[in-house]
Amino acid sequence: MNLALFDLDHTLLAGDSDFEWAQFLIGKGAVDGELHAARNQIFYDDYKAGTLDIDAFLAFQLAPLARHDRAKLDVWHAEFMERHIRPMIGLEARTLVEGHRRKGDLCALVTATNSFVTGPIAREFGIPHLIATIPACEKGCFTGAPRGTPAFREGKITRTEAWLESLGLHWGSFAESWFYSDSLNDLPLLAKVSHPVAVDPDDTLRAHALAHGWRIISLRD
Active site residues: 7, 9
Residue 181 CA to residue 192 CA, distance in Å, equals 13
- At residue 178, φ and ψ (nearest 5 deg) are -125, 145
10 Å Cβ neighbour count for 26? 18
Instruction: Indicate the SS3 state at residue 69.
Output: coil
- End-to-end CA distance of the chain, in Å? 30
10 Å Cβ neighbour count for 4? 24
Extended beta strands in 148-194, E state: 177-181
Q: Which residues contact 127 (CB under 8 A, 6 or more apart)?
A: 6, 97, 107, 108, 109
Residue 16 CA to residue 122 CA, distance in Å, equals 14
Note whether 112 and 133 are within 8 A (CB): yes
Note whether 156 and 54 are within 8 A (CB): no
Query: Which residues is 147 bridged to in the sheet?
Result: 134
